[in-house]
């Protein structure tokens, strides 16, 4: 019974924290963002939330998801196709 009680306390504690913890999910196409660039994004977003909303950086969560260009669509086309079309147009000019 003690284990169940501890589990409930932990879940309640986490649920309470989640209401106050900013979570930012950045999605970018997987096209070579460096570790340094991602670190700068994480730092910058964390600082922005501190400056604008007075959020605690220690509880701010930033996640960067990199999506393959074949899995990202705009206007009915994949980003892969759009990049190829843009490259062809540039060659024609």
pLDDT in tens, 12-26: 444 555 567 999 999
Give the C-alpha separation, 10 to 68, whole Å. Answer: 36
Range of the domain at 22: 2-92
Predicted structure pTM score: 0.71
Are 45 and 53 contacting, i.e. CB atoms less than 8 angstroms apart? no
Given pLDDT bands bounded at 50, 70 and 90, which one contains residue 2? very low
pLDDT in tens, 55-78: 999 999 999 999 999 999 999 999
Are 28 and 67 contacting, i.e. CB atoms less than 8 angstroms apart? yes
Residue 54: both structure tokens together:
């007075």
Q: What is the CATH number of the domain that holds 35?
A: 3.30.429.10
Given pLDDT bands bounded at 50, 70 and 90, which one contains residue 92? confident
Positions annotated as catalytic residues are 22
Average pLDDT over residues 26-45: 97
Number of domains the chain is built from: 1
């Amino acid at each position: 019974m003690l284990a169940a009680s501890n589990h409930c306390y932990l879940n309640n504690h986490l649920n309470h924290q989640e209401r106050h913890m900013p979570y930012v999910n950045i999605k970018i196409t997987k096209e070579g963002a460096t570790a340094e660039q991602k670190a700068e994004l994480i730092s910058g977003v964390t600082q922005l939330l501190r400056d604008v909303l007075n959020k605690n950086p220690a509880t701010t969560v930033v996640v960067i998801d990199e999506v393959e260009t074949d899995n990202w669509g705009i206007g009915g086309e994949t980003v892969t196709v759009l990049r190829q079309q843009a490259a062809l147009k540039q060659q024609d000019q």
